[in-house]
Structure 1
Amino acid sequence: MAELILFNKPFQVLSQFTDTDAPATAGQKPRSTLADWVRIPGIYPAGRLDYDSEGLLLLTSNGSLQHRIASPALKMAKTYWVQVEGDVSASAIEALCAGVTLKDGRTRPAKARRMEEPKLWPRVPPVRQRDTVPTSWLELTITEGRNRQVRRMTAAVGFPTLRLIRYRIGDWSLDGLEPGKYREISINLPAAAQPRKQPPRARSAKTPRTIQRS
């Protein structure tokens, strides 16, 4: 069994427990970290979520589980709810599904669809919107983890991201989690993912056996 923490990361919270690039300017407010929200010792994030993104972040103390979630080679699907600037077109959705070319290469095909605005908590500070420019929402599922990938993908098809929420990772979702809250669950790992037990060391016949008594 392995313990897994499902955390709904608020906007402008680092997905790490310390700010290794803390602002040096006197009087500048320090950035919020996971240590301000999750007080469970010995855990660490399985993957990351950008400072200016919100939503599901998974944490664990189990290295095998962390690898299964975060490893790019295992291609665990991640689903995002994305508010974009503009009235997103069918051609843009088709392009996202086919894969788009970014500076670091072409993305894998994604699953993308237009969605109604979800019922969400208000963001603080709120998204800046222009009265003359509409916004729309997408559900986008990818199996990669490039730096700021979703934002770059929507920009590449002509619709810049305004708000980004990770809703699901694999089988785990945000359902029932308010921002800043977390839930602990237990996971059964496959036998192959469990740490291997070391075989007992052979003992020399000349070595006396020590018996501990309580």
Structure 2
Amino acid sequence: MKGILGRKLGMTTIYKDGKAFGVTVVKAGPCTVVQKKTSEGGEYDAIQVGFEELTPERAKKILTKPLVKKFEAVKVKPHRVLKEFKVGNINDFNVGDIIEAGVFSEGEKVDVTGFSKGRGFSGAMKRWNFRGGEASHGSKFHRELGSVGNHTDPAKIWKGKKMPGQYGNEKKTVKNLTVVKVDAENGLIAIYGAVPGARGGLLVIKSANR
């Protein structure tokens, strides 16, 4: 399985073979291999990669001391983000290797994971797409939630009831998206369709698993 980390730049249109493709442009990599995990010590072979290199001074401010020591031990510059990817052959990678956007090719299928836009505390109609009440005169039920449970039995509100609350800012994965274009020189990947998150949001791009 191939994988890389990146930041969402935004959406645009690419014209290819006389067709228009709405794509999301991602600034992918470079990522540095920080650690190798083998099936001997765990359940699977995997590599841990770092994204967004930090200066030693900055690293001491925003990273924990154990993380700083970890980077020093493997003689790799500290990074802001760490992520693990399962791999087929662990011997294809070494600590310090660089993974760039060119790891993917045009036409390849990928799964993209990110955090959806946070919309704060929202009502039930916006959060759960409830219909609401009548908007006409005389109605006293417009955007309210409605009944949330019985009176005597069970005399409580069941867990998981759809109610107002935090909306968005959830981890979401969009599967089987197509890579339309790869600009390895500038570290850009154009992916057909929309992906979760706002501009500048962190994305995890992996080979599609089905």
Q: Give TM class, smaller chain.
A: under 0.3
TM-score normalized by the length of structure 1: 0.27
Structure-2-length-normalised TM-score: 0.28
Larger fraction in strand: 2
